[in-house]
Amino acid sequence: MKRDKRIVFFGTPDFAVASLSAIIADGYHVVGVVTSPDRMGGRGRRQVIESAVKKYAISHDIPILQPTNLKNGLFVEALGSWQADIQVVVAFRMLPVVVWDMPPLGTYNLHGSLLPAYRGAAPINWAVINGEEQTGVTTFKLKHEIDTGSIALQEVVKINRNDHVGDVHDRMMLIGAQLLVKTLKEVFAGRLTLYEQDHTKVSKAPKIYHKDCILDFEQSPFALYNLVRGLSPYPLAWTTLFNIETKVYAASYTFDVHSYAHGTIASDYRTYLAIACQGGWLFLEEIKPAGKGKMKIKDYLNGLRLTPNMSVYIPSTELLS
């Protein structure tokens, strides 16, 4: 039964590799993979960077397509030649109707939230940033509008108070892979019942830009703590320390009524550095100043060369400009 069905897999990053691996391990026949084109990176942008899914596909002798334009006639023809019964999408860009409507059993997507919550490009990040205590994974059948298709299966994933987005990502990657395999089993057995999303409960998870990652010390310490963990290890929250843009991997916080201006630095310049915010303090634990490597705050302070020109106050208006 499994070998009778032909699957085409769309995906790019490590998150997608877990699903592709689980599908193959369960005995399904993946006849081809569609992934992002190679890009140039590394020092001087002279190194060819292949996607994680491409590397996995090569290691398993799976045919690959890497289109720049998903509506290109030659790509659509090549995709059709694989004669897929079903297509699976995990962490890939939006598909045009000519692509997702091609296989007779349709195209199914794995999404990193409990849809209709957190529709968009960064659902795991925004769930942690917003202080959610749980999120989940959803498989759904694609239709034209992004992340709006009929739901197949869902599974809840807990978010612990100290989790960074990388922790949640890694758990969801494995849970989602198994949910996708279960979805395929139900589809091929003819047992799957789809149901429409409740469009009154939609929330958004848009792509995250550099400006979204800035630490605004007019906010509460808990909100800032959630922003740090919701962006770590990527793309990372940031602030300006002594006129140098500094990314923050880890932080802690305290609630404390104080009269300090928001953005004021408190430090013994040996063991801790805290920044005053609305109703408390954000303690920077692990950082990466521009041009330097990732370091613990103690190592940063031990190497800090204070000069008379260094300000110990960071105006919030400057941070938000």
What per-residue confidence (pLDDT) applies to 270? Answer: 84
What are the tens digits of pLDDT across the range 154-210? 999 999 999 999 999 999 999 999 999 999 999 999 999 999 999 899 999 999 999
Ramachandran sector of residue 206 (left: φ over 0; alpha: ψ -120 to 50; beta: rest): beta
Query: Contacts by 300-307 with C-beta closer than 8 Å and gap 24+?
Result: 300/273, 301/267, 301/269, 301/270, 301/271, 301/272, 301/273, 302/270, 304/242, 304/269, 306/269
What per-residue confidence (pLDDT) applies to 2? Answer: 56
What are the tens digits of pLDDT across the range 111-156? 999 999 999 999 999 999 999 999 999 999 998 888 999 999 999 9
Handedness of CA 30, 31, 36, 37 (dihedral sign): positive
The band of 267, judged by pLDDT with boundaries at 50, 70 and 90, is confident
Q: Is the pTM of this model over 0.95?
A: no
Which domains are delineated in the chain?
Answer: 2-201 (3.40.50.170), 210-320 (3.10.25.10)
Is 109 or 44 the better-scoring residue by pLDDT?
109
Q: Would you tell me how many other CB atoms lie within 10 Å of the CB of residue 140?
A: 25
| 321 has pLDDT over 60 | no
Name the amino acid, one letter, at 287: I
